[in-house]
Amino acid sequence: MFWEKKNEEEIDHIIDHTANYNGGAASEEYSSIPQTKEEYIAKLFRPYLYKEEQILCVAGNGDVEGGYGTPASEKKMLKALLIVVPICIAAFALGVLAGELPRDMVIITVLFVLFGMPAIIVLSIIVWLALGGLSGSANYAVTNQRVLAMVQENWQEISLKEVKKTAMQGRIVTVTSEHGLFLGIYYASDPLRLKAILDEAVQKCKYDIYQDQ
């Protein structure tokens, strides 16, 4: 990763009270193994927070490794198989009942092996890809100072004081800075709530700056 963690002195000042995304309450302490995906994502960002910076909410897939063979990827493949296999079996059964296929079990078995199994494999891969089976890690955090994005090996951030516009595109929350920098927040469990928290944080940040002038 090309972004830099805070040095040891700064880490001593990192805020330990990270907001709980589901309930909005601050967590007193993180365990060594986070219990929820939100806690896990928040823990990813904690070493990169400034002094007095607090996480307000997080979003992401929580899949740090990304790619095939990770738990998240394997779950998506299982889900794809659970979708495709019953459909293929039902299609063969309907073919037999409709008289399109012979009722001889040996012939049906051979046809299933020759055509059914390859169809299951191909369709499962298609569904798996549609479910984002090869998507890498993409995690996001909204703090009281910045919007942070950790997408695979790339780091992106926008200061709240520089946010020009926020918007919704389907379930994606988009953030545009005054300098034209664009950031999309994906995988939010409640994108409307995330956007509301972000808008409130931006408004408060800019109000505090105005008060200090």
| Domain edges within the chain | 8-64+137-212, 71-130
Q: Is the pLDDT of residue 206 over 50?
A: yes
Model confidence at 190, pLDDT cuts 50, 70, 90, reads: very high
Q: Is the pLDDT of residue 8 over 90?
A: no
Contact 202, 73 (CB under 8 A): no
Model confidence at 125, pLDDT cuts 50, 70, 90, reads: confident
Calculate ∠ Cα 77-80-81, nearest 5°.
90
Give how far Cα 106 sits from Cα of 90, 113, 182, Å: 18, 11, 59
Give how far Cα 164 sits from Cα of 56, 77, 176, Å: 19, 40, 6
134-152: pLDDT as tens digits: 556 789 999 999 999 998 7
Model-wide pTM > 0.85: no
- When the candidates are 3.40.50.2300, 2.30.29.30, 1.10.1660.10, 3.20.20.140, the CATH number that belongs to 8-64+137-212 is 2.30.29.30
Residue with tokens 């409640």: 190
User: What values do phi and psi take at 8, rounded to 5?
Assistant: -60, -35
Residues 207 and 192: their CA atoms lie apart, in Å, by: 22
